[in-house]
A and B are shown apart, each in its own frame.
Chain A
Amino acid sequence: MADDIPNIEELSTIVHSPPKTPWMDTPTVIRKGMFCHPANPKSLDYLSMPYGRKWAPMEEDWKLPENWVEIISDGLRDRLTRFRSLRIFMDCCVRCGACADKCHFFIGTGDPKNMPVLRAELLRSVYRKDYTLAGKLLGRMVGARPLTYDVLKEWWYYFFQCSECRRCSVYCPYGIDTAEITIIGRELLNLIGLNIDWIATPAANCFRTGNHLGIQPHAFKDMIDFFCDEIEDVTGVRVNPSFNRKGAEILFVTPSGDVFADPGTYTAMGYLILFHYLESQGLDITWSTYASEGGNFGLFTSHEMMKRLNAKMYAESKRLGTKWILGGECGHMWRVIHQYMDTMNGPADHLELPKSPITGTVFQNAASTKMVHITEFTADLLRHNKLKIDKSRNDHQILSFHDSCNPSRGMGLLEEPREVIKGVCNHFFEMPEKTIREHTFCCGSGSGLNAGENMELRLRGGLPRANAFKHVHETHGVNTLATVCAIDRAALPTALDYWVPGMRVTGVHELVANALILDGENERTTDLRGEPLAGMEEEE
């Protein structure tokens, strides 16, 4: 880890009592380690987004377009007429504070502007000034303030310190969703080119190559071929995935993070092994290099960009003539699929009601979107005893499950991954009740905040999750955290390593593949990572 990361003692002294000065009078100090690099102008240009330019957050002058106030004001007015959520959330907060201590960024930083209510007030104060009678007449007395350069900077700083995890919304008596507010807040900032590069460049890559890493089609295939070799090394079985194959029954789309970065790659191998296993039972599935990303960095940019990036899934399924779509383990990809895709790019009339070719189960809950989550699919297989499993091959891992924010609070996917884990592992322990399921804590790096330069923010934001994990680590010896999100797989190893060193993070289908008994396989002595299975250590 980089040298300028504060040590544990420094990071652990968190003061949760706010400063003496009222928040409007407490200037925002933009601090290194807490923000991401500004968007690369090239990426913005590629996406035809306005005002791509070089600028630096720590500098006084952000090189804003001259009429920026007007642009933002018009943008806000426009969105107030298009989103009821925004209007209700601007009008209804009673500042009860129930959400205040629910945000992992507040818990980890103690910065009061990271309390969801105050984060929202940053926008609300400007709304009040321009759109409410009281605000116009009484100004600061009713929490209204004009949109100034400093206010704008504060927006940028704190809207990109929200991972849009929705935890606060669970506790709010009116369901006020600060994520919705920062989504729209970021949309406004994008109007004047204020994005961060960890979002803008992946978005541009997704647009061009189909995936956020910019992997071109041949390289994408190469990577998967490489996994096939690895799989053969571990299992002795050769798997043969297909790409861009017309007439396949099912299109498979997964976050490209799984194809690129450890430990997500093992999850990708997990999919490959499962699909190979099911081939003889009638699974007819193809990968696509064009729709090679489920993750949608548009969600963190604007509703329009989300739609532009999401369009590929339906377009590709139509071109290939598949019947339905299976989706891999990803967080915000699923929020978009579940809550936006059908609205934006549907109706998916070219597809059919998803039906498992193995068990015959009809996924009625995906009747319109025609897209099934892989843990729904696999849980159904296990339930119908369609998989030969040797659970003991996961015995070297004692597991806990991290509910990712988006699947849990955006779609209610809570039991399916647990069913799968329990179906393929012997040792599973839940983290404390108030930190899982709908109460779950963000990894601290979601919504495009998974960069390197904002490491302090990520570690602080990851503290609540790590803390709950540490609890089961100490009480039950848990050493592995399973999750169904590619960002989690990328982000949690860092956060856990900092707070609870030496732990593993795994995808659920990596566990499935470890346990799955393939026809003609060798006796396995290691898991997919090449680590010895329980009882095999001596033979090393």
Chain B
Amino acid sequence: MNVKDSITISAVAVLAIIALGALGAIVPVLRPVFGIAIPYAAVAVFLLGVVAKVLGWGKTPVPFAIPTTCGQQKSLPWIKASYLESPWTKKGVIARMALEILCFRSLFRNTNMSMKQGPKIFYGPTLWLWIAALAFHYTFLTVFIRHFRFFLEPVPFPIKMLETLDGFLQIGLPTVMVSGFILAGAATYLLLRRLMIPTVRYISLPNDFFPLFLILSIAVTGILMRYVTKTDVVGIKELTMGLVTFRPTVPDTVGMIFFVHLFLVSTLLAYFPFSKLMHMGGVFMSPTRNLTCNTREVRHVNPWNYPVKTHDYHEYEDEFRAHMVEAGLPVEKPLED
């Protein structure tokens, strides 16, 4: 599928979702469907889907210890081993994984290859993907946590704290939450990167663009609600609190843009377990990263190890005995004459 088609399909899909969400707000009978039924269904699909996927991975064995060693092994006492890149203890592995999951260690290592006539090849550092990925994921997390204020009454102190931090840019009223803007910016960067770098463009599929468009739309509708349209926050909170307490209601005051926002989020949730977004779970389970690198020191057990046909020494000697004897090599059985 070429890029144009990929983008068109993804964009049309997201626009359709937006239109549907709007419809859900306008048509009175649909309001409970889009305000209550679909969000519930989406959360259910999300939870079941993620659990099923992770269990599926979890019950598949790891027959061999195949960690990629990205640093010096632990060997002789006077050679400095790399505790984080070739960890030999469980703690070291946890630290390696934490670096990977919290700091995107491998992306930090990224290089950029360029070639001049000759040919001469150069490898420069490149941190843009790392920066954008970090910005994207951390602001996403911040925004996600901030939303808990809609689901919790009273709003817990840590969430208020986070908001204060997030909103340190106090430009008039309401407080500007930086995270939403960084999220939109980072997503835009990731999108542009996908389009501008030839190799990345070449590997991109609709299921790369679709989630980006989806997340961008979520961010934009969120920003619109907060800063542009007059959104009935009290009504929204009533709706969300209704959802979490299983006494759902849809107040009449909740407007169209909220419905669009909510439907986009519902789609994202339901789409999650069936897509590459599952990398969120997979990153914890990758056998090249989450195993100790002491495979010669500690035996790894393969649950399905089975006996195989080998060529044993006696078969070997039987075939070559005469030659062996002639060459003066020791044999187990003497030559019969």
| Contact status of A173 and B282, CB under 8 A, knowing A48-B309, A112-B202, A222-B327 | no
Contact A82 B313 (CB under 8 A): no
| CB-contact partner of B64 in A173, A209, A339, A434, under 8 A | A339
B201 to chain A, nearest CB (A): 8
Find chain A residues with CB under 8 A from B147 CB.
none
A152 interface contact, C-beta 8 A: no
Contact B71 A95 (CB under 8 A): no
Contact B296 A175 (CB under 8 A): no
| CB-contact partner of B296 in A166, A367, A383, under 8 A | A367
Contact A94 B279 (CB under 8 A): yes
Q: Contact string, B270-290, partner A, CB cutoff 8 A, digits 1/0? A: 000011101100110111110
B144 interface contact, C-beta 8 A: no
Of B163-171, B174-182, B300-308, the one contacting chain A is: B300-308
B104 interface contact, C-beta 8 A: yes
CA distance A316 to B310 in the complex (A): 12
Contact A412 B60 (CB under 8 A): no
Contact B56 A87 (CB under 8 A): yes
Within 8 A of B (CB), among A155-195: 166, 169-177, 180
Of B35-43, B203-211, B229-237, the one contacting chain A is: B203-211
Contact A414 B71 (CB under 8 A): yes
CA distance A439 to B320 in the complex (A): 44
A314 to chain B, nearest CB (A): 10
Interface residues on B, range: 35 or more
| CB-contact partner of A173 in B85, B106, B296, under 8 A | B106
Find chain A residues with CB under 8 A from B117 CB.
12
B324 to chain A, nearest CB (A): 5
Find chain A residues with CB under 8 A from B79 CB.
379, 415-416, 419
Of A115-123, A489-497, A531-539, the one contacting chain B is: A115-123
Contact B326 A218 (CB under 8 A): yes
Q: Contact string, A391-420, partner B, CB cutoff 8 A, digits 1/0? A: 000000000000000001111111110010
Q: Contact string, A480-510, partner B, CB cutoff 8 A, digits 1/0? A: 0000000000000000000000000000000
Contact B76 A416 (CB under 8 A): yes
A-side interface residues, number (CB < 8 Å): 120
Contact A218 B329 (CB under 8 A): yes
A315 interface contact, C-beta 8 A: yes
| CB-contact partner of A347 in B198, B293, B299, B320, under 8 A | B299
Within 8 A of B (CB), among A77-108: 80-85, 87-89, 91-98, 100-102, 107
Contact A467 B121 (CB under 8 A): yes
Find chain A residues with CB under 8 A from B61 CB.
82-84
A30 interface contact, C-beta 8 A: no
A347's closest neighbor in chain B, by CB? B299
Contact B65 A339 (CB under 8 A): yes
| Contact status of A88 and B70, CB under 8 A, knowing A174-B279, A177-B288, A216-B323 | no
| CB-contact partner of A366 in B110, B296, B323, under 8 A | B296
B2 interface contact, C-beta 8 A: yes
Within 8 A of B (CB), among A322-369: 337-340, 342-344, 346-347, 361, 363-369
B138 to chain A, nearest CB (A): 15
Of A56-64, A137-145, A254-262, the one contacting chain B is: A137-145
A297 to chain B, nearest CB (A): 14
A371's closest neighbor in chain B, by CB? B296
| CB-contact partner of B276 in A21, A94, A208, A438, under 8 A | A94
A94 to chain B, nearest CB (A): 5
Contact B69 A95 (CB under 8 A): no
Contact B310 A312 (CB under 8 A): yes
A21's closest neighbor in chain B, by CB? B2
CA distance A339 to B298 in the complex (A): 11
B333 interface contact, C-beta 8 A: no
A207 interface contact, C-beta 8 A: yes
| CB-contact partner of B76 in A21, A83, A303, A376, under 8 A | A376
Q: Contact string, A113-131, partner B, CB cutoff 8 A, digits 1/0? A: 0010110010000000000
Of A33-41, A238-246, A511-519, the one contacting chain B is: A238-246
| Contact status of A134 and B207, CB under 8 A, knowing A82-B61, A217-B329, A369-B296 | yes
Contact B123 A416 (CB under 8 A): no
Within 8 A of A (CB), among B214-272: none
Q: Report, nearest first, the 8 A-B pairs whose CB atoms are least far apart.
A: A412-B73, A412-B69, A92-B282, A218-B327, A175-B288, A97-B200, A434-B123, A18-B202
Would you list 11 pairs from A and B whose C-beta atoms are within 8 A, ordered by A residue? A88-B282, A91-B276, A141-B9, A174-B279, A290-B313, A339-B66, A342-B296, A435-B123, A439-B111, A467-B119, A468-B121
* Apart from A24-B1, A96-B200, A175-B100: 14 A-B pairs, beta carbons within 8 A: A83-B60, A142-B205, A171-B106, A175-B289, A243-B330, A308-B309, A315-B313, A367-B296, A376-B76, A409-B69, A416-B76, A438-B68, A438-B69, A439-B111
